[in-house]
Structure 1
Amino acid sequence: MLDTYNIREDAMPEDMRFLLSRYPRESWEDHPGFAEKTRHWLGAHQMFRRVASRIRVDTEEVLNRDLAVDEYAGRLSHFGGGLVSNLHGHHGWEDHSYFPELSAADPRFDAGLELLEQDHADLDRVLDDFTRSANRAIKLSGLDANQAREEAAQVLKASQTIEAFLQRHLTDEEELAVPIILHHRLRG
């Protein structure tokens, strides 16, 4: 489904990961510049990954008839609504606050920033499609369980796209931003 959205599937080019070899992921937590704010930002990314996975698993379960449609609808409303609103808020904050700070500290960030901002725009389209399918499945859950499951098949496609997209995008974002944060001792 990623091809439906023309979303970049390749990792960020090596030249945009200019500080990663100097600050590899496994060394981040031990670095003296690794501040609580960075830990929280990475924690939000982990939460997005977990919630996207939970939505996919729940949808697979309802399609396999291992989860009741009404229970699925409640879970989809809770987790799906939370994922969409929190991703929009998180990306808005990054675009208007966090990324400008990184850009000002290290202009080399700008090359990767263009990719990340395009990712945010592409993800908005995916989230809109997910929201439409999820809302239809939720509405149908109170009317016709079979039709709700049919719509859940569309939710599954969208949730798989979100999960794959987030895995690549968040990794790229982390591997571009955290080394800059550590190098310049930002967010302390």
Structure 2
Amino acid sequence: MTTTTAIRTAPLPEDMRVLLADYPRDDWSEHPNFKRATEQWLGAHAMFRRLSALVRSDVETYLDKNHDAAGYAARLGHFGNLLVANLHGHHHWEDRSYFPELAAADPRFEAGLEVLEQDHAALDGILDTFTRQANRMIKLVQLDEAAAREEAAMVHQGAAQIETLLTRHLGDEEDLAVPIILHHKLRG
């Protein structure tokens, strides 16, 4: 069964990115209010980008018959789980700790928060479907490799959706949050 989730492709509205003009992305790491906590948060985002690209490229390699089924299943189990579990934990922490702090500091964050939370809800659905498909594919490797290859096509669709959503979402999240952090001297 194919599940297609609408992925937001439009950037955050300009009124939600107003501080970005004063705090451009290229200057963040040199800003005196750029602290280790912000660097670590951005590092987690970079890891999610790398993991999602790896999970997608691994399934493409398998579908192109350049990876054996058992080896691919082991990599999918490991890296797919890392991606899903860490995204869930990261978003839970953002929703419970990070986002309330930013919203309390600046009402402009509150307006963007609704958009980001819609992304989180869409991502939860995509991750759930991806997890089911990946688990099914891993089981099928032992039972019927032809069926496993068919299921891998569905895993590829899910991995591509994850990567597409993360590309938009993480960039928007950073463009909204980091200027507020720098402006209000947060996370020090």
Matches within 5 A, 1:9-158: 9-158=9-158
> What is the distance in 1 between the residues matched to 2:28 and 2:73?
39
Q: Which amino acid aligns with 1:20?
A: L
> What is the distance in 2 between the residues matched to 1:142 and 1:17?
50
Q: Which amino acid aligns with 2:167?
A: Q
Deviation of 1:157 (Å): 0.3
SS of 2:19's equivalent? coil
Determine the structure 2 residue equivalent to 1:179: 179
Deviation of 1:87 (Å): 0.3
Deviation of 1:146 (Å): 1.4
Q: Deviations over 1:126-147 (max 9, x none)?
A: 0001001100110011112211
User: Bigger CA drift: 167-176 or 135-144?
Assistant: 135-144
CA RMSD of aligned residues (A): 0.9
* Residue correspondences, number: 186
TM-score with structure 2 length normalisation? 0.97
SS of 2:115's equivalent? helix
Structure 1: gaps spanning 5 or more residues? none
Q: Which amino acid aligns with 2:58?
A: D
TM-score with structure 1 length normalisation? 0.97
> What is the distance in 1 between the residues matched to 2:11 and 2:69?
37
Q: Which amino acid aligns with 2:179?
A: P
- Identity among equivalent positions (%) equals 61
> What is the distance in 1 between the residues matched to 2:48 and 2:180?
22
Determine the structure 2 residue equivalent to 1:160: 160
> What is the distance in 1 between the residues matched to 2:145 and 2:86?
29
Deviation of 1:7 (Å): 2.4
Deviation of 1:159 (Å): 0.4
Deviation of 1:176 (Å): 0.1
Deviation of 1:112 (Å): 0.2
Deviation of 1:5 (Å): 1.1
Q: Deviations over 1:97-148 (max 9, x none)?
A: 0000000111111110000011101100000010011001100111122111
SS of 1:47's equivalent? helix
Q: Any runs of at least 4 consecutive aligned residues in structure 1 with deviations exceeding 2 A, and if so which? A: none
Deviation of 1:74 (Å): 0.3
Q: Which amino acid aligns with 1:137?
A: M
Q: Deviations over 1:129-178 (max 9, x none)?
A: 10011001100111122111110000000000000000000000000000
SS of 2:107's equivalent? coil
> What is the distance in 2 between the residues matched to 1:7 and 1:57?
20
